[in-house]
Amino acid sequence: MYTLSFVGRSGQSDFCPQTETGMSDRMKPILGALVAGYVINFALINHFFGPILANDAPAGAMVPAWLSLAIVSVLSILFYDWVNQAVGAPVRSAMIVAVSQILILDVYFVLNGTRGIAAAGAGAVLLLASWGVIGVVYGKLFDGQGAEATDY
């Protein structure tokens, strides 16, 4: 049964099954999502993003490196907090963010030839370590979370 629900601490989201399902039960939606994601990404990368990227060389940095790191850090932590509100487990939330970045920045770029394997490995270690620390610190400082504060 599918229900419309708010994304909450339980991890359930809009139109998610309310019961545990096995991998075989999830194959149809997994394959459907895979095909839909591939088709839309292929079309948009080749016909929308690619042409814009080819004609949009930056003239230089908008802000100094230290300031860009500060801005991205603030935005990343706000995104992480939002993810953690849905997941309810700080370290698990941090690993979701880290693995998402690894898939986009390291795996994809190695496969398409824009990043070397050593740089990708180093980037993955950096992301897992930094997000792991962020998750642990967030969990320790989150008042009222109790045993859920550290999910490692």
Q: What is the C-alpha separation between 82 and 75, in angstroms, rounded?
A: 11
Q: Which amino acid is at 9?
A: R
pLDDT in tens, 108-133: 999 999 999 999 999 999 999 999 99
Which phi and psi angles does 16 have, rounded to 5°? -95, 145
Residue 115, judged by CB atoms within 10 A of its CB (0-12, 13-18, 19+), counts as middle
Report whether 64 contacts 118 (CB < 8 A): no
DSSP state of 151: -
pLDDT in tens, 57-81: 888 999 999 999 999 999 999 999 9
pLDDT score at 24 = 85
pLDDT in tens, 3-55: 333 344 445 444 454 556 788 889 999 999 999 999 999 999 999 999 999 99
Q: Which amino acid is at 65?
A: A
Same domain, 49 and 74: no
Q: What is the C-alpha separation between 81 and 135, in angstroms, rounded?
A: 10
- Lowest model confidence (mean pLDDT) among 13-17, 20-24, 88-92, 93-97: 13-17
pLDDT score at 72 = 96
- Lowest model confidence (mean pLDDT) among 2-6, 89-93, 145-149: 2-6
Same domain, 42 and 67: no
Alpha helices in 10-88 (DSSP H): 23-44, 50-54, 65-87
Which phi and psi angles does 145 have, rounded to 5°? -85, -25
Domain housing 77: 62-152
Question: If we measure between CA atoms, which residue out of 105, 111, 140, 141 comes closest to residue 123?
Answer: 105
Same domain, 2 and 70: no
pLDDT score at 14 = 46
Same domain, 113 and 133: yes
Helix (H, G, I), strand (E, B) or coil at 17: strand
> Which has the higher per-residue pLDDT, 46 or 147?
46
Same domain, 67 and 28: no
Same domain, 66 and 135: yes
Same domain, 83 and 21: no
Token output for 87: 């997941």
Q: What is the C-alpha separation between 72 and 82, in angstroms, rounded?
A: 15
Same domain, 125 and 111: yes
- Domains held by the chain: number: 2
Element (H, E) at 110: helix 108-111
